[in-house]
Structure 1
Amino acid sequence: MSTLTGTPVATDAPASRRPRLSGMTWLVWRQHRAAYLTLLGASVLLLAWIVFQRHRMIDFLTGYGWPASGLDDLGTEFAPYAAAFGPVSAALGLIPVVLGVFVGAPLLAGDLEHGTAKLVAAQSASRTRWLATKLGLTALVLTASTGALSVAFGWWWAPVKGQTTVMDWTSGAAFDTTGPVPVALTLFTVVCGVAIGVVLRRTLTAMVVTFGFAVAAQLVWGELRLALGDVITVTTNKGVLAEDSFPVLPDAAHQIDQSYLTGGGELLGWSTCVESETEQARELCLKQADVVGWSVDYLPMSQMAGMQWLGAAILFALTAAVVAFLFLWGRKRLV
């Protein structure tokens, strides 16, 4: 009908306006999209598993009257649900090492080894912009994936957070997989891997060296983890042999050390007088040593969030320093 009257007929529908990558961002995404999509896809699968395990655990706890009733009487029936945390926390703990080796090390080393960096430098875009886009887009994907996994794992653990039989909050299984620590550890390891790749300029060599560095960094971090907290000391003065003589610590507190306390304020090792053959001999030995009570050093669980943020801040600062090195190096030697 419209043809007869001469009314024009629209033949093309208006193009849909969707956000699209362009320029340098599009180039970097196209170059590394396999790694980015693999990381995001694996994160989605792990998130789904965490959600499933959390709902499974909550169904079990609800059947026992949680949260109105405590969790101390669950016994061995809760063991399978507690054991489910182990494999997931182990997988999350490996993420910084794996991403440092397979994402960080090849990120620029591959371009330097195969001459892609020279091709980019010959274009109108500056090397600084190229480096910033590479690091920025990679950091965005890493932060989104590890941040989501950290939140989900913390959400799963929250109902049984105070149960040391599930996970000790000072261990890497809990401390390094919740809060800001996973993001900070991953970014630090990956950026250091990028720096190693830039210096060595060989992909395979950079991956091997980055693996060694990442493992060493994890070991050092594990040794320094407790130093982030403010150790609290509690003492008693009612002897050490009575049943109620040992100080009562907060729930889930991590005990660092314990010693005998003398009347003069000196500390003796808890093994003092342990060689006494009888209880009476031991009591006499302790009396001669002027032991009046216990001195116990511990970290309360209430410090966990503060310790995590302090540790993350240190890691973020180190990451920023490595990024500054990359930009200073890249201005002259990135081709």
Structure 2
Amino acid sequence: MSTFTSASNPTGSTTGTSTDGKNGTMNATTTEATRRPRLSGMTWLVWRQHRAAFWSILAATALSVAWMVYQRGQMTDFLDGYGYPAGYPAKSLDETGNDFQRYVDAFSFVSFGLGAIPILLGVFLGAPLLAGDLENGTAKLVAAQSMSRARWLATKLALAGLVVVVSTGVLSAVFGWWWNPVKKSDVTVMDWISSEAFNNTGPVPVALTIFSVFSGVAIGLVLRRTLMAMVVTFGFTVAVQLVWSYSIVSLGNTVTITTNKGVMGENGSPSLPHGAYEIDYSFVTGSGDLVGFGTCSGSQTDAARQVCLDKADVVGWSVEYLPMSQMNGMQWLGASILFALTAGVVAFLFLWGRKRLV
């Protein structure tokens, strides 16, 4: 005859002791409950409410990553067969003709899709996140429960933000990994300063998307109508993309290189570092003033142009540019600005939501 006494420990497992009456020995037994981690409470409610959107984003991310990994494998096989070591070109890709063009086209296609993510998620995830609850009355039902409005809002923003950060962070990392072998190539796959490269690699896509999504949430909170919020968010996110792309150059510290031995013949414009983005070309006069590089361009012959340049006292070139080495620092500076703006939007959401959330 044996008896069994059980008790639960804080870890959720059940322990017990078994006593054998025949020989008086005691055998200790332990039964551990194997349970999967499960969401509960407000987190479960918010995830279940928006699970279709969340799973769609994660599934699209997985498919996009798989396709980019495949494309990179195809490209590196081509480069290896052509004798082009990744990052350290031994041969010019210009000699490949149209054979490499399909990989350039793939970059253009994917970069366009990635560039649309902040707009799409802002419109279809951010704008309806609160506007839908406010419009159909779900917010009033939540407010009548024991959970506070602040916790409900925080859970909504946290889950949406987590999905956005994970998806865009993974896409950014994989896209940058795909681009890296030809980042410094002689073929213009993507200019590093262009929005196609700058906005889709590093921390920028994460910061730009989270700002667009939370801005859409704020627009929905104020307008309280889903369709109207989506339309306004679309216009807002498009404007953000345009302004941001126009402002990229201002994030860097320009470098100026000058010459003083003339501007013709062997004294042509100075060579710049590989990948440098040219901002401005000018002529330098003997007094140090700058004049446009089109000065004396109307001269019919080289001799006539040289006479014109001597008369204008032109002695050399002045070239202003941004080196590729600044890309990483510019991206983190830009992302910091966007994260700061996002923090301001979140503060507005909580301040506004205290009185106008239902």
Shorter-chain TM-score tier = over 0.9
The partner residue of 1:203 within 223, 226, 244 is 226
Counterpart Cα distance in 2 of 1:181 and 1:70 = 32
Does 1:20 find its partner at 2:38? yes
**2:147 aligned with 1:125:** yes
Counterpart CA distance in 2 for 1:214 and 1:95 is: 10
Contact 2:83/2:91 (<8 A) preserved: no
What is aligned with 2:90?
A: 70
Structure 1 partner of 2:60: 42
Query: Which AA in structure 2 matches 1:195?
Result: A
- The one-letter amino acid of 2:68's match is I
The two structures have a TM-score, normalised by structure 2, of 0.88
Higher normalized contact order (CA 8 Å, seq sep 6+, divided by chain length): 1
Q: Which amino acid aligns with 2:57?
A: L
Q: Secondary structure in 1 aligned to 2:260?
A: coil
- Matched with 1:103 is 125
Q: Which runs of 5+ in 2 are unaligned?
A: 1-30
Provide Cα deviations, 1:270-314, integer angstroms capped at 9, x if missing partner: 110111122111110000000001000000000000000000000
C-alpha distance in structure 1 between counterparts of 2:267 and 2:276, whole Å? 18
Residue 341 (structure 2) pairs with residue 321 (structure 1): no
| Of 56, 70, 89, the match for 2:74 | 56
Which of 184, 188, 192 is matched with 1:162 structurally?
184
In structure 2, do the counterparts of structure 1 residues 110 and 235 end up closer, same or farther at CA, with 3 Å as the change threshold? same
How far apart are residue 243 of structure 1 and its match? 3.7
Gaps of 5+ in 1: 1-12
Higher Cα Rg, which structure: 2
Residue in structure 1 matched with residue 137 of structure 2 by the alignment: 115
The CA deviation at 1:149 is 0.2
Any idea what the Cα deviations from partners look like across 1:69-108, whole Å, max 9, x if unmatched? Answer: 5252443232222221000000000000000000000000
1:192 aligns with 2:212: no
Q: Which residue of 2 aligns with 1:245?
A: 268
2:81 aligned with 1:81, yes or no? Answer: no
Q: Quick check: 1:238–1:245 contact (8 Å CA) kept in 2?
A: no
Task: Supply the distance in 2 between the matched residues of 1:70 and 1:165 (Cα, whole angstroms).
Answer: 16
Structure holding more helix per residue = 1
Question: Which residue matches 1:172?
Answer: 195
The structure with the greater share of residues assigned to strand is 2
Q: Deviations over 1:247-272 (max 9, x none)?
A: 11000100001000001000000110
Alignment RMSD (CA, Å):
1.4
Question: What amino acid does structure 1 have at the position aligned with 2:212?
Answer: T
Compute the displacement of 1:15 (Å).
5.0
Alpha-carbon distance in structure 1 between the residues aligned to 2:330 and 2:179: 18
Partner AA of 1:43 in structure 2: T
Q: Secondary structure of 1:295's partner?
A: strand
- TM-score of the superposition, structure 1-length normalised? 0.94
Task: Tell me, yes or no, if structure 1 residue 134 matches structure 2 residue 156.
Answer: yes
SS of 2:50's equivalent in the other structure is helix
Give the whole-Å Cα distance in 2 for the aligned partners of 1:72 and 1:143: 38
With over 3 angstroms needed to count, the CA separation of the structure-2 counterparts of 1:298 and 1:109, relative to structure 1, is same
Match of 1:220 in 2: 243
1:307 is aligned to: 330
Q: What are the superposed Cα offsets for residues 111-151 of structure 1, whole Å, 9 maximum, x if unpaired?
A: 00011000000000000000000000000000000000000
Aligned: 1:286 with 2:309: yes
Aligned length: 324
Supply the AA of the counterpart residue of 1:233.
T
Output the CA distance in 1 between the equivalents of 2:288 and 2:96: 41
| Aligned partner letter, 2:96 | G
Could you tell me how far apart the structure 1 residues matched to 2:92 and 2:340 are? 41
Kindly indicate whether residue 294 of structure 2 is the aligned counterpart of residue 271 of structure 1: yes
SS of equivalent to 1:47: helix
Looking at structure 2, the residues matched to 34 and 244 of structure 1 have their Cα atoms a distance apart, in angstroms, of 64
Please give the alpha-carbon distance, in whole angstroms, between the structure 2 residues aligned to 1:203 and 1:321. 23
Secondary structure of residue in 2 paired with 1:162:
coil
Letter in 1 for 2:136: H
Contact 1:236–1:245 (8 Å) recurs in 2: no
- What's the CA shift string for 1:11-31, capped at 9, x where partnerless? xx9753111000000000000
